[in-house]
Structure formats: C-alpha cells, structure tokens
Amino acid sequence: MPTIKAVNHVAVVVDDMGKSLKFWRDALGIQLHELRDVPAEKSQVAFLPIAGAEVELVMPTTDDSGIAKYLAKRGPGMHHLCLEVDDINGMMSQLKAKDIRLINEEPRFAADGKKYAFIHPESTGGVLVELYQLA
C-alpha cells in the first residue's frame, strides 16, 4: 500500500520575488538554496529549505501560465501543500478508487526526474495538494 513519507514543501505564489525574498530570506533568515526558472510551468521558483522540507516561492514568468491565472484570480499567498509519497502511481490509483478528483490523470515528470501530480481542491476541503515521488 502506498504511503506518505513527509511534507516535501509548501508553495507560496508571489507577484514580486525580490520583495518576497526580503521577508522569507532576509527577515526570517531562511537560506535561499536555489532560484530556478521552470520553463515547463512558466515560472520562477525560489527554494528555501527548513528542517527536511521547503518553502517554495513561485512567481509566474508569463501572463498566460497557470500560476499567473491563479495569481490574477486569488492574489499572492499559499498555493499548495506537497506530500512526498513512496509510490505515486499506487497512491493515485488508491485515490481514484475512493472517488478523489485528480487534476493529473498520470504523473508528470520534473526536470530532475521527480514524478508529480495534483489533487483537485474540490476533494481536499479547498487545499491544492501535490504528490511527489523522488527520482
């Protein structure tokens, strides 16, 4: 049976990466691990690790990306909670069997080989949940 291993990250949508880093990095003192462009998602992501998990700041790089649409509709703030799983395909099958609505029917692949998929907030009480399986 697939299991959840850990909270991998909490993603926060931002409209100004510099301003956001002034809070998360400079005011709170969380070290910036990496600032990366993610062309597949039309976004820029800042990775700020904390005790085995991360805060990920996500900023759209185009006006037509999913993140840009989210930002225009809801404004800056928490975007999703990411749970690391040991078997993403098994977890997705288990969720489908329990009538949980998935955004992705099949896992997607990140540039670093991680598999990921999103669970629709309609099935989670309003929280967008991402599943991650490390490469």
Q: What's the pLDDT score for residue 135?
A: 84
Separation between Cα atoms, residue 55 and residue 41, nearest integer Å: 18
Q: What's the pLDDT score for residue 8?
A: 95
Q: Mean pLDDT in each 10-residue stretch from start to end of the chain (135 residues)?
A: 95 98 98 94 96 96 94 95 97 97 94 93 96 93
Of 121, 116, 120, the C-alpha closest to 131 is: 116
Identify the three-state secondary structure at position 33: coil
Of 74, 44, 39, the C-alpha closest to 56 is: 44
Q: Domain limits at 43?
A: 4-133
Q: What's the pLDDT score for residue 27?
A: 97
Q: What's the pLDDT score for residue 89?
A: 97
Q: Which pTM value belongs to this model? A: 0.90
Q: What's the pLDDT score for residue 110?
A: 86
Residue located via tokens 């969380």: 30
Residue 97's CATH number: 3.10.180.10
Q: What's the pLDDT score for residue 112?
A: 83
- How many domains is the chain partitioned into structurally? 1
Q: What's the pLDDT score for residue 31?
A: 97
